[in-house]
Structure 1
Amino acid sequence: MQEMQDLGTLQGDVLLFGGPYSNLQASEAVLGEAAERGILAGNAICTGDVTAYCGQPRETVAALRAWGCVVVAGNCEVQLAAEAMDCGCGFEAGTACDLLSAGWFAHVSREVDVAARVWMAGLPGMVVFRHAGRRVAVIHGGVTEIARFIWETSPEAVFAEEVAAIEAAAGPVDMVVAGHSGIAFRREVAGVMWVNAGVIGMPPHNGLQATSFAILSENGIEICDLRYDAREAFAEMQRAGLTQGYDRALLSGYWPSEDVLPSDLRESSRASG
């Protein structure tokens, strides 16, 4: 894995998205969004985890490689490149998320060939660029830990630690764009805007099928809904035998487990609040 890739100065809008998660239908939808907005592949950046929960990892990798967008290495890419036996997601051992990951990661590992693993091994751990007077860093989860779950409600010290690690490696930044945790948000900490662009391959545990991506323009960053053929993605998971719960999440909009979520973002907390 490369440590960092500097894209220089990007002109025009930039499309930022995370977690295709082997969801070919969502991946094709985000390519459609880029085409409709006139955004070329060099101005499209993925925060990693091209393959994960859904049914078409081989086809999803092929689609993104053919498009030629910039991809930051996620923990799934790192693990597959190393021929590891698990996804390295950072799930606590024995939790529902940990147990469910064994099924989908085995499917991904069977489907992803040597050429794709070599490509994954060459992906950067961080991408930096300049845009409309801002310097932006794009990472997966965190720099101190690639699979670090950072949420909108995480303590300020968590963001400060990560920004310090990013700036130690890459110099000063005005904005950080991350993925991994699966729920989009924006939060300013000590003058740096931290943006999670969300993921395109799985809904953000909100009861809706739409996923999310972000558009960076001269006016700032906007988080946008991505609509795609969730029923076809569900059918592909069924065909692949991936029926442990993430298949139903595509239609229900709710994850099969809240184990990974902090208590203040769980549905029970929202309902009681």
Structure 2
Amino acid sequence: MRIQDLGVMTGEILLFGGIYSNLPALDALLSIAMDRGIKPQNMICTGDVVAYCADAEASVARLRALGCLVLSGNCEVQLAQDADDCGCGFEEGSTCSALSARWYAHAKNQVTLENKVWMSGLPERIIFTHEGRRYAVVHGGASDIATFVWPVTSDADIQREIDLVQTQVGPVDTVIAGHTGIAMDKQVDGVRWINSGAVGMPPNDGDARGAFAILSGNTVQFERLTYDTETAHQAMIAAGLTQGYHETLVSGFWPSEETLPPEMRRQSSANG
């Protein structure tokens, strides 16, 4: 397992993931970081730089030029191995699995060999200490890179993930994860599990903005990301990526909710 130890970090830390090849969203995020004086060494990406949107290669190039800290997501693993699918953890035969075929093929074709080699060397775990607390960064979960840990995931299941993280990297006070695209902050038996949400896609709530988080002291501030959604939307149309996610950038709703736990689906909410 590739583990990157950042040692002791100070100041505000920008936590983000799920860029999903959405270059306008990434540029908006980096502008916010610049305005707040957050330097690249204090920016941590939880993975999935590449996915649904049009600008896979440009998004990777922008992050590499920036020099911020990037964890390997399942999309990076699959592209580095020249695999035929995204490895997102979607159930075989599901709508999400079917929809992923087109955008993954687009990304696979667009990302250069040089950047696929870079992806192959990304860390699988990042650890650091901040304000006296020890943090571990994973993509999905400790059990699997594509594990979905949701806000409604049981304490027992989260505890199993935390226990496994600690067997891998030692004791931690907080786990930072990505993959789901849904922000969360939950504490289980004294250990926090944080997900910053996704920069490049909204969290299926009817609000087109993405999401990120700022770690300041021991406080995590969750924020929504305003960016030029129309430019990203049109770039997807121009690239032929019109299987539904292009409309998500405008509507704020996912084209399929099959991945979500039933209690987090809109129809569940509508039914009380």
CA distance in 2 between partners of 1:240 and 1:137 (Å)? 36
Please state how far the C-alpha of 1:219 moved relative to its aligned partner. Answer: 4.1
Q: Give the AA of the match of 1:64.
A: L
Post-superposition Cα deviations, 1:155-211, rounded to whole Å, max 9, x if no partner, equal 112111111111001111111110100110110001001011101000000001111
Unpaired runs of at least 5, structure 1:
none
CA distance in 1 between partners of 2:66 and 2:265 (Å)? 36
Question: Percent identity at matched positions?
Answer: 51
Query: 1:178 maps to which residue?
Result: 177
Q: Give the AA of the match of 1:140.
A: H
**Which runs of structure 1 show a deviation greater than 6 angstroms over 4 or more consecutive aligned residues?**
none
CA distance in 2 between partners of 1:256 and 1:66 (Å)? 33
Query: 2:224 maps to which residue?
Result: 225
Post-superposition Cα deviations, 1:93-128, rounded to whole Å, max 9, x if no partner, equal 111000000000000000011100010000001101
Query: 2:128 maps to which residue?
Result: 129
Q: Which 10-residue stretch deviates more, 42-51 or 154-163?
A: 154-163
Q: Give the AA of the match of 1:252.
A: S
CA distance in 2 between partners of 1:142 and 1:218 (Å)? 24
Tell me the TM-score normalized by structure 1. Answer: 0.98
Please state how far the C-alpha of 1:146 moved relative to its aligned partner. Answer: 0.3
Query: 2:79 maps to which residue?
Result: 80
CA distance in 1 between partners of 2:7 and 2:253 (Å)? 39
Query: 1:244 maps to which residue?
Result: 243
CA distance in 1 between partners of 2:10 and 2:238 (Å)? 42
CA distance in 2 between partners of 1:126 and 1:264 (Å)? 30
Written as runs of structure 1 = structure 2, the 5 A alignment for 1:111-260 is 111-260=110-259
Q: Give the AA of the match of 1:268.
A: Q
Please state how far the C-alpha of 1:143 moved relative to its aligned partner. Answer: 1.4
Q: Give the AA of the match of 1:96.
A: T
Q: Give the AA of the match of 2:24.
A: Q
Query: 1:89 maps to which residue?
Result: 88
Query: 1:10 maps to which residue?
Result: 9
3-state SS, counterpart of residue 27 of structure 2: helix
Q: Give the AA of the match of 2:149.
A: I
Please state how far the C-alpha of 1:3 moved relative to its aligned partner. Answer: 1.9
Q: Give the AA of the match of 2:196.
A: A
Post-superposition Cα deviations, 1:211-230, rounded to whole Å, max 9, x if no partner, equal 11010011411111111111
3-state SS, counterpart of residue 34 of structure 1: helix
CA distance in 2 between partners of 1:23 and 1:104 (Å)? 12
CA distance in 1 between partners of 2:36 and 2:135 (Å)? 21
Q: CA RMSD in A?
A: 0.7
CA distance in 2 between partners of 1:49 and 1:158 (Å)? 23
CA distance in 1 between partners of 2:210 and 2:127 (Å)? 25
CA distance in 1 between partners of 2:220 and 2:135 (Å)? 11
CA distance in 2 between partners of 1:89 and 1:255 (Å)? 15
CA distance in 1 between partners of 2:3 and 2:270 (Å)? 42
3-state SS, counterpart of residue 198 of structure 1: coil
The question of 1:20 aligning with 2:29 is answered no
Please state how far the C-alpha of 1:133 moved relative to its aligned partner. Answer: 1.1
CA distance in 1 between partners of 2:222 and 2:176 (Å)? 12
CA distance in 1 between partners of 2:35 and 2:194 (Å)? 23
Q: Give the AA of the match of 2:18.
A: G
3-state SS, counterpart of residue 86 of structure 2: coil
Please state how far the C-alpha of 1:272 moved relative to its aligned partner. Answer: 2.1
CA distance in 2 between partners of 1:155 and 1:136 (Å)? 21
Query: 2:45 maps to which residue?
Result: 46
3-state SS, counterpart of residue 167 of structure 2: helix
The size of the alignment, in residue pairs, is 272
CA distance in 2 between partners of 1:225 and 1:92 (Å)? 29
